[in-house]
């Protein structure tokens, strides 16, 4: 990323190959950008009986997996030539990870997932989903065996503050690395709606075009050349198909803010994209990051971009 973005990254590790792969990719990123990386391993709370027959040190037994995960993490970081700050903590994993990131000033939380073959790793209720839903720190989700690369970026656009924040990050990458960015606005028109009200369907498509025109204006003000397309269909399916067709390296997607208990839940589109994505996904919340966009736009210079229609 650019030198002003994501210089301090926190990686959640549990000893699994997926979490250690995420750490390795993160180490390569911070080494290139001269940033810093921390690893956190969390011991979940135990409300039950701590006495086990034949076990003298129950607490140590419970702590052992988390400590081993950090030992393995240090080994990975050393192999990448990166100093690793470790955090051994106890509590509800998602709460601990989010609180640590906010209190210690981490710019980004990175997590690893097993990939498309094990969808349970990213379903509602998992630690990954809760970390995304509970806090405001951006979250980078790295599937197993996928490498971080900024050359081809896909950004869904839906008119929300979170999608504006996602676009801003994409534009920073374009400016820093000459990345190619594809902005996609999807009109979620149910097929039966044409039979009920063709006018309503066209209105939904027009709304999607409007979202794209506004983000195109932002791209122009940043002197960023972006390919912009509008599609009709189920959003998550369209986004994953385009990511596969374009050999996308990174999807930057906004996740809408929540209140109360629903803060623990991701938007369904975000969840489905993570579950099926062929590449890493950077999830941006719409509060802190979006506030930086401001009311007057993202940048202030002119460029050449074009919008392609519904197909």
Model confidence at 180, in pLDDT bands (50, 70, 90)?
very high
Task: Give residue 119's pLDDT.
Answer: 38
**Residue located via tokens 């008119």:** 159
CB crowding 30-66: b at 16 or more within 10 Å, else e: beebebbbbbbbbbeeeeeeeeeeeeeeeeeebeeeb
* Digit-coded pLDDT (tens) for 42-74: 998 876 565 555 555 777 888 899 999 999 999
Name which of 290, 168, 151, 154 is nearest 224 in CA terms.
168
Model confidence at 281, in pLDDT bands (50, 70, 90)?
very high
The answer on pLDDT for 107 being more than 50 is yes
Task: Give residue 50's pLDDT.
Answer: 57
Task: Give residue 295's pLDDT.
Answer: 37
In the chain, % of residues over pLDDT 90: 43
Count each helix (H run) and each strand (E run) in the chain, helices first: 10, 11
**Residue located via tokens 């062929």:** 278
Helix axis angle for 58-79 and 17-33, nearest 10°, is: 40
Model confidence at 164, in pLDDT bands (50, 70, 90)?
confident
The answer on pLDDT for 262 being more than 80 is no
């Amino acid at each position: 990323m650019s030198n002003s973005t994501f210089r301090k990254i926190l990686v959640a590790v549990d000893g699994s190959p997926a979490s250690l792969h995420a750490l390795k990719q993160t180490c390569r990123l911070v080494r290139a950008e001269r940033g810093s990386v921390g690893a956190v391993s969390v011991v979940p709370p135990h409300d039950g009986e701590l006495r086990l027959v034949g076990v003298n040190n129950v607490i140590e037994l419970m702590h052992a997996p988390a400590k081993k995960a950090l030992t393995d993490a240090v080994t990975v970081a050393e192999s990448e030539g990166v100093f690793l700050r470790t955090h051994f903590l106890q509590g509800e994993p998602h709460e601990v990870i989010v609180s640590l990131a906010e209190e210690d000033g981490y710019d980004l939380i990175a997590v690893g997932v097993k990939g498309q073959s094990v969808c349970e790793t990213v379903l509602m209720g998992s630690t990954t989903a809760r970390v995304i839903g509970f806090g405001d720190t951006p979250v980078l989700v790295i599937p197993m065996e996928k490498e971080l690369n900024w050359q081809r970026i896909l950004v869904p656009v839906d008119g929300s503050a979170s999608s504006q924040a996602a676009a801003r990050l994409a534009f920073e990458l374009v400016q820093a690395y000459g990345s190619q960015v594809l902005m996609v606005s999807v009109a979620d028109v149910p097929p039966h709606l044409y039979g009920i009200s063709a006018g309503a369907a066209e209105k939904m498509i027009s709304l999607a075009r409007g979202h794209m025109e506004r983000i195109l204006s932002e791209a122009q003000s940043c002197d960023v050349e972006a390919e912009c397309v509008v599609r009709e269909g189920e959003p998550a399916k369209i986004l994953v198909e385009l990511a596969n067709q374009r050999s996308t390296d990174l999807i930057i997607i906004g996740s809408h803010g929540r209140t109360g208990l629903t803060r623990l839940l991701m938007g369904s589109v975000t969840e489905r994209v993570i579950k099926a994505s062929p590449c890493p996904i950077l999830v941006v919340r719409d509060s802190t990051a979006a506030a930086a966009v401001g009311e007057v736009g993202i940048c202030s210079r002119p460029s050449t971009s074009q919008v392609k229609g519904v197909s």
